[in-house]
Amino acid sequence: STVVDSRDDVVSFKLAQLGEGIKECELLSWSVKVGDPIEAFQTLCEVQSDKASVEITSKYTGTVEKLHHSAGDIVEVGAPLADIRLQAADIPAALSEDTRAKHSDRLGKNIQPQPERAEGGAVVAVPLAQTGEGIAECEFLSWKVGVGDPVEAFQPVCEVQSDKASVEITSRYSGRVAALRHRPGDMVAVGAALLDIELPPGEAPPGAGGGAMLGAELPPREAPSGEGPPPPLRRKAPVLASPAVRRIARESGLDLSAVRGTGPGGRVTKADALAALSPAGSGGERAEVAKQGPPAEEAPEAGEGGPRKGETPLTEADEPWREAPGAEARTVRKPLRGYARAMVKSMTEASRVPHFYFCDDLCMDRLVALRTRLKADPRHARLTYLPFLIKALSLAMSEYPALNSQLSGDGSEIVQFSSHNVGVAVATPSGLVVPNLKNVETKTVEEISGELVRLQELASEGRLEHEHLTGGTITVSNIGSIGGRYAMPLLNVPEAAIVALGRTRSVPFVDSDGGVVTRAVMGVSWGADHRVVDGATVAAFSNAWKALVEDPEAMIMRLR
């Protein structure tokens, strides 16, 4: 966030939203001081939320005018971090006409309208729009256009992956692609520019009053040649280092930018920092390199191998094993992205909820026989037990609506839902995801079966949308398809209940006549939010569900 100061060319840089539910952060350290020059994308400071430590980078090029906080301060989201006196080309377009006139001698052509350039029209940036509630950033997956390509309004230009779904981003404008600002794997904040588009000659960008967008001028365009369009402008990447390494640097006065990193992607490790501080170093060679700094051409580019923007930094607890010779080569680190990253957040939230667990066995004999008869019809060849179990779950929830509830965000009330939106955990190559079937109470078993197939196919192809992954009221996890009888499932927060279905197995039973018979038995395990439902309610609900599963013909009388 940015606020234009009354001093006209000074902006107040605010702490942006770093993630869903984060309201404040601790300021760990400053990477600049008052009077320092600063460039766009250069690290300003490091903050620690309740989930991770994050480096905050500047949006502007200029000079640091004021630092609003000291290390150790708690800073609320939206509060100012630093004031930056902008360079001429970076003064926001929102400045008044009076202010523009005041700075016209100093700013010159940078604030004058530029309705058309000799080789084309005005250039506008296409930002990453909000792709869903609570989503602050996305992983960039792929480009669908290249520099120099013509593009039409509403044409897909790229694909991104949020914590909840993959989304195609379309252009707002017609024109020609002037620059691509990201690479596959980059983390892009909502509102950040994705690409630049050159509008047709004479066409003004929206809201620019007939002029080009204010800001730093684009590099000169080269004449087309057989070698293809010019590559996008690259920016200098910040130093890659963990908070523990940065702490060593702060305490010792070491300039990390002068240390050659030996970690992945040029990351400065603890060993690198200690070697740079050692008088002897590694035979004197590393110490000399540390003084000189890395060659310019070896500066790691963001998104080119190694940790990318958005990766959770190491903590001090991660560091000791890095001292062992060869440990770096044996260890593989994979950044959390997409579904896997969302699951980490969800399970962390769930671990804070008091769970009540309940296990039971269901006799599946009659359901097995019914499914066998139905599968003889080619139309039901893909029919599984799951649609019956989900429908029975919905019928039981009509009897015990407390299971279809959740605690309100402020904890002051219990919200009970009329729609039965049943989530189903699906394992995909990108991680576990939980799409949900909407309004199961109105669907037949056949409709539920078809919807399950559709959602599972979308999940495996990575094409689930935001609506598929939100609004769930209860979850089913079919662990039996992999193996195992029982589990202790964690809730899909904020839902109040989840059931894990175990493997169906043949078990010997003693019947009413004293004879031993074989039964098909499935173990089930319930996890419930003990703040919303008590154990007696969960047990009674499970018994009602069990009765329907064990006598599926009884469901006919209650189907809608």
- Reduced 3-state DSSP string for 257-277: HHCCCCCHHHCECHHHHHHHH
Is residue 182 part of the annotated active site? The answer reads no
Residues of the chain within CATH 3.30.559.10 domain(s) are: 340-558
Q: What is the mean pLDDT of residues 505-512?
A: 90
CATH architecture, domain defined by 1-113:
Beta Barrel (2.40)
pLDDT at 21: 63
pLDDT at 249: 81
* 485 pLDDT above the threshold of 80: yes
Going by CATH, does the domain composed of 340-558 fall within 3.40.50.1110? no
**Sign of torsion, CA 415 421 423 424?**
positive
Query: Per mean pLDDT, which range of 70-79, 184-193, 289-298, 446-455 is the poorest?
Result: 289-298
Closest CA relative to residue 268, chosen from 286, 241, 289? 241
State the number of CA atoms in the 13 A half-sphere of 538 facing the CB.
23
pLDDT at 88: 56
* 489 pLDDT above the threshold of 80: yes
* 297 pLDDT above the threshold of 80: no
* 474 pLDDT above the threshold of 60: yes
Residue type, 436: N
**Dihedral, 441, 446, 450, 456 alpha carbons, nearest 10:** 70
> What is the Cα–Cα distance from 57 to 80, expressed in whole angstroms?
14
Closest CA relative to residue 394, chosen from 224, 238, 558, 190? 558
> What is the Cα–Cα distance from 355 to 349, expressed in whole angstroms?
12
pLDDT at 216: 33
Residues of the chain within CATH 2.40.50.100 domain(s) are: 1-113
Catalytic residue among 36, 318, 534, 551: 534
* 400 pLDDT above the threshold of 90: yes
Is residue 361 part of the annotated active site? The answer reads no
Residues in the chain: 560
Catalytic residue among 103, 380, 466, 530: 530
> What is the Cα–Cα distance from 136 to 139, expressed in whole angstroms?
11
pLDDT at 324: 52
